[in-house]
Amino acid sequence: MHAAPHIPAARGTRPPHWWAELPLLALVYAAYSAGRLLARGDVGAATGHGEKLLDAERFLHLAVERPLNRLFSGTPALGIPAAFVYAALHYLVTPAILVWLWRRHPGRYRLLRTWLLLSTLIGLVGFTLLPTAPPRLLTAVHGFTDTMAEYASYGWWGGEASAPRGLGGLTNQYAAMPSLHVGWALWCGVALWLYGGSRLTRAVGLAYPLLITVVVMGTANHYFLDTLAGCVVMVLGLLLARPALRLAAAARGVIASRASGGAPGLHANVGGGCETSAGERFPRQSARAGGGARGAAAAGDGAARAPG
């Protein structure tokens, strides 16, 4: 049986301390959430972008959202579980995989964490540059049903996608492109596939992103092209993760060097306190050393210069 491919571990096998890691993750998530709110854009433009995505999918014969949405909205046995999956799993599974990597695979954690965070920030750029209305917010002529709103009585969400009932104003409903539901699920799937250690976890790693892809389209929260864009964002984040870690390590080295008073790349006390003079083969003792040490050094010089 062939070994599974793996992402090379970053230098060092110790993961960051949890008390330093939690504020970093919280900061990035807060920036992501705040950015979604600030990147609302014009509703008319967002709706226009959504309609153009549908047109592009029809041209490419990729428009699969409508039949999936009809199936989910017309079949409560599918639609209700899908609503729970959309509203909850990305908040539960992604942090759980992070903690699992931190505890069980410390040599891989830093790289995979950086990959996830960078991809999330890249996704935020997409929300800002291309505000997009999801299929459920298009006019009725397009034939989509808001599955989350239809089954809202079964859960905590309201008519604003996965936002808890009454808190719809705290989310941006026009951030459909790219789909980070799919992007984060892909990240989780890769982690489980590479490091799960069993056929079951590898099967879950394969099935989870596929499940989320079907759910986000069946609930009319994303277009098929959104899901592809979510995968592209994750690829970009992976390509940037290792250079970002090298840059961060170099920055830490410079900061540590300046804090210790030395030049970058040199230990702070190399040559510190030594005195030399012309003709000496070895530096004299530190200025803090006693006179006896200087005398011994001088005697040694004299003996070395005496004729044999």
Geometric angle at alpha carbon 97, from 95 and 100, rounded to 5°? 110
Residues composing the chain: 308
Asked whether residue 125 carries a pLDDT value surpassing 70, the answer given is yes
* Predicted pLDDT of residue 129: 87
* Predicted pLDDT of residue 157: 77
Q: What Rg, from alpha-carbon coordinates, does the chain have?
A: 29
Backbone dihedral angles phi then psi of residue 270, each to the nearest 5 degrees: -70, 120
CA distance 238 to 243: 10
Asked whether residue 284 carries a pLDDT value surpassing 50, the answer given is no
Q: How many helices (H) and strands (E) does the chain have?
A: 11, 0
Digit-coded pLDDT (tens) for 6-33: 555 544 456 666 566 667 667 766 766 6
Confidence of residue 305 (pLDDT cuts 50, 70, 90): very low
* Predicted pLDDT of residue 164: 62
Of residues 80 and 276, the one with the higher pLDDT is 80
